[in-house]
């Protein structure tokens, strides 16, 4: 697969629109918007152009939040909101015939090694020449929040799986039946990390689903992708933080702070807070 130079961030959902504007302190101790942090993640992964998919009326706020990001930002308006899959499809003209990095706009990521999370996924996709989705071992209680995948381990790599099944927010019962993965503890499943490198073939599958009626999610399109192309899941060395969860922004901010240069200062303040 060629180098990944384009990224698509979806931030048009009702619950995502304000999250991208949320102010945080990044790992370097700088004040940035959540969108600014996402754009920095994309730039670190080698992306030079990023499309941010927004709802009508959010264009100016998006451009302001993206100011100074260091990448070429294109604002794409999802004029007729028909769900998450349709938001991804809205970026088809921007992507063209190139593979691209897709990032959900309501997550932040903290890597456990020097390579940031998006870069890990991009490097794996380029190395193997196919679509790759980041995944994380997730407890069954959190299945209502994520898409999940299953498939056999790829030979020679303990964190790479060939995807055979994709389910959108499965119930624990369904997950136990069709999403069990050898090697994971009981009650844990491989759930999406919010980072994907995809081939443009995914747009055709999204169009098929849209023509069949309803508001397509991305997961059914990814199931079709798995049936037609080699498609891998990679256990990212890091953690995802969903800003839309209860206390999600607080948790993400703490994770960024404890992984950054102000770790000692933050730990002292936390100890003082607990003592009080």
Rounded Cα–Cα distance for residues 253 and 174 (Å):
34
What's the CATH number of domain 6-275, 3.30.420.40, 3.10.180.10, 3.40.50.1860, 3.90.550.10? 3.90.550.10
Residue 129's pLDDT is what? 95
Contact (CB, 8 A) for 101 and 196: yes
Residue 110's pLDDT is what? 95
Q: What are the residue boundaries of the structural domains of the chain, listed by start?
A: 6-275
Spatial CA neighbour of 103 closest among 224, 216, 170, 19: 19
Residue 202's pLDDT is what? 96
Tens-digit pLDDT profile for residues 56-101:
999 999 998 888 888 999 999 998 888 899 999 999 999 999 999 9
Rounded Cα–Cα distance for residues 38 and 130 (Å):
23
DSSP codes joined into one string, 117-140: HHHHHHHHHHHHTSEEEEEEEEEG
Say if residue 174's pLDDT is above 80: yes
Tens-digit pLDDT profile for residues 121-146:
999 999 999 999 999 999 999 999 89
Say if residue 182's pLDDT is above 90: no
Residue 215's pLDDT is what? 79
Average pLDDT over residues 143-166: 91
31-40, 115-124, 176-185, 195-204, range with the lowest pLDDT: 176-185
| pTM of the model as a whole | 0.93
Say if residue 16's pLDDT is above 90: no
Average pLDDT over residues 216-239: 95
Contact (CB, 8 A) for 78 and 53: yes
| Mean pLDDT of the chain, nearest integer | 92
């Amino acid at each position: 697969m060629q180098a990944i130079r384009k990224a698509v961030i979806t931030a048009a959902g009702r619950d995502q629109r304000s999250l991208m504007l949320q102010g945080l302190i990044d790992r370097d101790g700088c004040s940035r918007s959540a969108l600014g942090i996402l754009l920095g993640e994309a730039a670190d992964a080698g992306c030079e152009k990023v499309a941010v998919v927004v709802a009508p009326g959010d264009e100016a706020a998006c451009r302001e939040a993206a100011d100074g990001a260091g990448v070429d930002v294109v604002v794409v308006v999802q004029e007729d909101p028909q769900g998450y899959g349709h938001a991804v499809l809205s970026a088809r003209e921007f992507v063209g015939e190139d593979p691209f990095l897709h990032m959900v706009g309501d997550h932040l990521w903290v890597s456990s090694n020097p390579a940031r999370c998006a870069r890990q996924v991009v490097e794996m996709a380029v190395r193997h020449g196919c679509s790759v989705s980041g995944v994380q071992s997730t407890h069954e209680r959190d299945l209502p929040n994520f898409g999940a995948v299953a498939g056999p381990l790829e030979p020679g790599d303990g964190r790479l799986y060939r995807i055979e099944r994709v389910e959108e927010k499965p119930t624990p019962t369904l997950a136990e039946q069709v999403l069990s993965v050898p090697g994971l503890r009981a009650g844990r499943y491989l759930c999406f990390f919010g980072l994907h490198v995809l081939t443009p073939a995914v747009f055709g599958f999204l169009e098929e689903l849209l023509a069949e009626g309803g508001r397509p999610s991305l997961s059914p399109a990814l199931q079709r992708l798995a049936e037609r192309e080699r498609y891998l899941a990679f256990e990212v060395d890091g953690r995802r933080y969903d800003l839309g969860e209860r206390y999600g922004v607080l948790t993400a901010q703490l994770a960024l702070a404890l992984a950054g240069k102000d770790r000692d200062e933050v730990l002292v303040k936390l100890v003082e807070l607990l003592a009080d």
